[in-house]
Copies of this chain bind each other. A is one copy, B any other.
Amino acid sequence: MTDKKVKKADIVAVANAAKVSASTVSRAFNHPDLVNPATRKRINRAVEKLGYIRNRAAQAIHGRRNATIGLIVPTINHAIFAEVIQSFSDAIDEAGFTLLIASHGYSLEREYDMIRKLMEHRVDGIALVGLEHSEATFRLLRQQEMPCIAIWNYSGTSDMPCVGADNREAGRLAARHLLQAGHRDIGLIFPSIEGNDRARQRLEGAMEEIRTHGVEVRDAWRQESPYSITLAKQAVRGMLDSDQRPTALVCGNDVIAQGAIFGVQSRGLSVPGDVSVIGIGDFNGSLDMEPGLTTVRIPAEDIGKVAGQRLTGLILSETREMFRYRCDLNCIVRGTTRPLT
């Protein structure tokens, strides 16, 4: 009676208060149809009164599901991932799951650690960004038979189920748009491709398309820049200061494109008058820029939603079936590119 160490209510406390056994309380939660409505009511009242909160941990111990899904992203602080995280979160929430999230800052080493961490929490499934992961990661996922899905990237021959876009195609589309507009002096600004298959494939796709058109890209016109407006701005300036400057730029994503545009403008040149710029992604906000950014749209919201639905489906159905979902890409022409006259 001393409220010194007032123990938190557990299931037996509820059971006592409702004058039933713990089993019945448990059943009232997990198989409500098996318990008498009147009893159920009594139990609910007791729960209410005692402020009882179920313990998922104690459920998980019984091999039951945990109702958590782990998502590992390179970084949360990035428009495009934020968007995909949000729609993924909403989709799994719909199915009653909670999101356990971790970020690794573009290190596949750390990604592995994060996966282990999520597994210690006995998540019911894991979603990763991209299809490129360390050998240890693949081994671990296989060995633990963890339902998993790769988002953001599509490949017809992936080991994991995936929901995403064909990034090589995205790169191709971006380059093609410029080439078809008559551009031949094309610069490229992409992030480091280290541990980032999305960037690598986009770059490869773009280069491929350019070469197919018999066009060469000068070394000076290939710049590396992280996903940062400031740094992209700097990177593009270097390119413009050489005596020869490109008439068009393919950018690794919309953030880089944004930076590139500012870089061009800060040199007193105009977009698209002097330099056309195309991005990849179609981030929230790219539409609203002035001029609107021409870009290859990757439907982040779709990807998150479909991935969430598929992964929860996989978990609930207890199957491990393979599936690959490729979302459509299209080049959205707005105001930052123009045909070379």
Contact with B along A54-69 (1 / 0, CB 8 A): 1111111100001010
Interface range, A side: 35 or more
| Stretch of A80-88, A169-177, A241-249 at the chain-chain interface | A80-88
Whether B98 pairs with A100 at a CB distance below 8 angstroms is yes
A230-B61 CB under 8 A given contacts A51-B143, A121-B56: no
Contact with B along A302-335 (1 / 0, CB 8 A): 0000000000000000000000000000000000
Bound form: Cα–Cα A8–B99 in Å: 24
Contact with B along A258-275 (1 / 0, CB 8 A): 110010011000000000
Bound form: Cα–Cα A292–B262 in Å: 11
As for how many copies of this chain the complex holds, the number is: 2
User: CB within 8 A of A118: which of B98, B262, B288?
Assistant: B98
The smallest beta-carbon distance between A247 and chain B, in angstroms, is 21
A262-B290 CB under 8 A given contacts A100-B68, A100-B98, A100-B99: yes
Say if the beta carbon of A89 comes within 8 Å of chain B.
yes
The smallest beta-carbon distance between A303 and chain B, in angstroms, is 13
Whether B76 pairs with A120 at a CB distance below 8 angstroms is no
Q: List 27 A-B contacts (CB under 8 A).
A: A8-B144, A51-B143, A53-B116, A54-B120, A55-B60, A55-B120, A56-B122, A57-B121, A68-B100, A76-B85, A77-B82, A77-B85, A77-B284, A79-B79, A89-B101, A89-B103, A93-B102, A98-B117, A98-B121, A99-B101, A99-B102, A100-B101, A229-B284, A229-B288, A230-B287, A230-B288, A258-B288
